[in-house]
Structure 1
Amino acid sequence: MSAYAIAHLRHVEWGPDIVTYIQEITDTLDAHGGRFLVHGDNPVVMEGPFPGHLVVIEFPSMDQARAWYQSDAYQAILPLRTQNADGATVLVQGVAPGYRASELLAKH
């Protein structure tokens, strides 16, 4: 089942470090089957405040998403983003094909 790395970047300080990060991140994804679904586009906000932009990266599984984030290759460039951008990053598990929202009720 797919998993996703999602970042809500509220502010980015554009400079050489961010440029290097952007130039190198794709190479860190390849070994883990990651691919960008959303990258840097400003969302159309329908409800509530949402400053900044969103990044969504898809992985074949949560194990591969974790392996990417913890990889030496990604950890080497991570400070280039964290020291120059304000935001939050999460890894989330996707749902199976045919999933219905009511399935969540069984967990509560």
Structure 2
Amino acid sequence: MPAYAAAHLRSVQMGEEIIDYLRRIDETLPPFKGRFLSHGKTPEVIEGEWPGHLVLIEFPDMEMARGWYHSPAYQAILPLRTKNSEGSAILLEGVGPEYRAADFLKSIGLA
């Protein structure tokens, strides 16, 4: 199953360290077959509130996503982002192309 790294960045202080981070993050992705799906776009909020931006990176599976996040190459630049932004980051396993919402009911014993 695909997996995703997502960051909800509520505020970013654009300075030398963030610029360095942005210049270096791309080189951390290829060994883990990661690719940006969204980055730096302003979301169209259709329900509730969403301060900031969402960054979304796709990986072939959760093992590759974890490998990227914990890799020496990414860990070396991570402080450049965390010291200069406020937000949350997650890794999330995706679903296959045949998945249907009702499948969730099966997973919790209600179908």
Q: TM-score range by the shorter chain?
A: over 0.9
Q: What are the equivalent positions in structure 2 for 1:3-82 lying under 5 Å apart?
A: 3-82=3-82
CA distance in 2, matches of 1:100, 1:43: 25
Cα displacement (A) at 1:54: 0.5
Say whether 1:2 aligns with 2:2. yes
Identity %: 56
Taking the aligned partners of 2:44 and 2:96, their CA distance within structure 1 comes to 27
Please provide the CA RMSD for this pair: 0.6
**What TM-score do the two structures reach when normalised by structure 2?**
0.96
- Other structure's SS at 1:9 match: strand
Runs of 4+ in 1 over 2 A off after TM superposition: none
TM-score under structure 1 normalisation? 0.98
5+ long unaligned stretches in structure 2:
none
One-letter code aligned to 1:101: A
Deviations for 1:4-38, whole angstroms, at most 9, x for unmatched residues? 00000000000000000000001001110000000
Gaps of 5+ in 1: none
Distance 2:48 2:8 in 1: 14
CA drift at 1:98: 1.4
Q: Using the alignment, how far apart are the partners of 2:66 and 2:32 within structure 1?
A: 9
Distance in 2 between residues matched to 1:25 and 1:83, nearest whole Å: 16
Q: Could you tell me how far apart the structure 2 residues matched to 1:107 and 1:89 are?
A: 25
Alignment length (residue pairs): 108
Cα distance in 2 for partners of 1:75, 1:39 equals 19
AA aligned to 1:20 is D
